[in-house]
């Protein structure tokens, strides 16, 4: 029996809440999660933190494998997450079907919130999109950066912000919000999440068993329900 420590971004949290108890019951291991934005996980690892494994976007894992922080194998892919638009439950839903209609929805919105560009892949992508759409000036006084893990979604449920833009898996189970839909395909960025073990993990077998369990095709429906598309 082992305690398995995991650092994870927020995207897999809903699925992990469902799948971890049966894994613990089957194996006797206990899994301890620390959820943080990707930039914070990277800082913790750089400072010497040593969880047993991490769940992060694949490009971030690749960089840490190259740096020698994570083992190149075994690895797992949990799935891909699209970025979606949310509003408060019961509020009018804007038209976001095309880049132009999405642009207009943001310009007309009273207040907009999305993740910090310096902290998360989705935030960085959205900063590029608003620049691409030419609306940075229009949003300057009504756009707030607030990560979903740090209270960003509560800005929607409280009515403080009118439109939120987050990875679907981070908001799909939140009460009080409505998912309008995914960003238009031309503006979308799928975030592929993976799992990897720390290079200095001297007893990696329990962590590896967790990866195998979570990526078992028998659990695909849990990931789908949590907003993850199957890995390609």
Mean confidence (pLDDT) of the chain? 95
Query: Domain tally for the chain?
Result: 2
CA distance 104 to 106: 5
Phi, psi of 49 (to 5 degrees): -60, 145
Tell me the DSSP string of 67-97: TTSEEEEEEEEEEEE-EEEEEETTSPPPP-S
198 and 129 together in one domain: no
Cβ(84)–Cβ(185) below 8 Å: no
* Contact in structure between 23 and 218 (CB atoms under 8 Å): no
Torsion of CA 205, 34, 124, 81, to 10 degrees: 60
Q: Residue 59's domain is classified under what CATH number?
A: 3.40.190.10
Q: pTM, whole model, 2 decimals?
A: 0.87
Statement: residue 6 has pLDDT above 80: yes
- Spatial distance between the Cα atoms of 16 and 6, rounded to a whole number of angstroms: 11
Together in a domain, 89 and 174: yes
* Structural domain contains residue 230: no
pLDDT band at 150 (very low <50, low <70, confident <90, very high): confident
Question: 154-191: per-residue pLDDT in tens?
Answer: 999 999 999 999 999 999 889 999 999 999 999 999 99
Instruction: Select the more confidently predicted residue: 101 or 149.
Output: 101
Residues 6+ apart with CB under 8 A from 22: none
Q: What domain range is 179 assigned to?
A: 83-187
Residues 52 and 91 in one domain: no
Residue 204 falls inside a structural domain: yes
| Six-digit token string for 208 | 């590896």
Q: Tell me the Ramachandran region of residue 79: left when phi exceeds 0, alpha when psi lies from -120 to 50, beta otherwise.
A: left
Whether residue 118 lies inside any domain: the answer is yes
Whether residues 54 and 65 share a domain: the answer is: yes
Same domain, 27 and 56: yes
For residue 102, being part of any structural domain is answered with yes
Whether residue 170 contacts residue 42, with contact meaning beta carbons closer than 8 Å, is answered with no
Q: What is the pLDDT of residues 16-74, one digit of tens each?
A: 999 999 999 999 999 999 999 999 999 999 999 999 999 999 999 999 999 999 999 99
Percent of the chain scoring above 90 in pLDDT: 94
């Amino acid at each position: 029996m082992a305690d398995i420590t995991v650092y994870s971004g927020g995207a897999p949290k809903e699925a992990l809440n469902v799948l971890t108890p049966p894994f613990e019951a089957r194996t006797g291991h206990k899994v301890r999660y620390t959820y943080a934005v990707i930039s914070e996980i990277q800082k913790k690892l750089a400072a010497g933190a040593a969880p047993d494994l991490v769940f992060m976007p694949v490009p971030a894992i690749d960089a840490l494998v190259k740096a020698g922080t994570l083992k190149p194998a075994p690895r797992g892919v949990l799935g891909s997450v699209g970025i979606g638009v949310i509003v408060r439950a019961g509020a009018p839903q804007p038209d976001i079907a095309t880049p132009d209609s999405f642009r207009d929805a943001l310009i007309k919105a009273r207040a907009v919130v999305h993740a910090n560009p310096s902290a998360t892949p989705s935030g960085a992508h959205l900063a590029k999109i608003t620049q691409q759409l030419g609306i940075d000036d229009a949003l300057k006084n009504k756009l707030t950066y607030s990560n979903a893990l740090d209270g960003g979604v509560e800005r929607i449920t409280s009515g403080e912000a009118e439109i939120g833009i987050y990875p679907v898996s981070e908001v799909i189970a939140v009460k009080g919000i409505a998912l309008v839909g995914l960003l238009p395909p031309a503006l979308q960025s799928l975030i592929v999440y993976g799992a990897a073990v720390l290079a200095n993990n001297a007893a990696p077998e329990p962590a590896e068993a967790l990866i195998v369990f979570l990526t078992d095709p028998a659990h695909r429906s849990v990931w789908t329900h949590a907003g993850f598309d199957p890995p390609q």
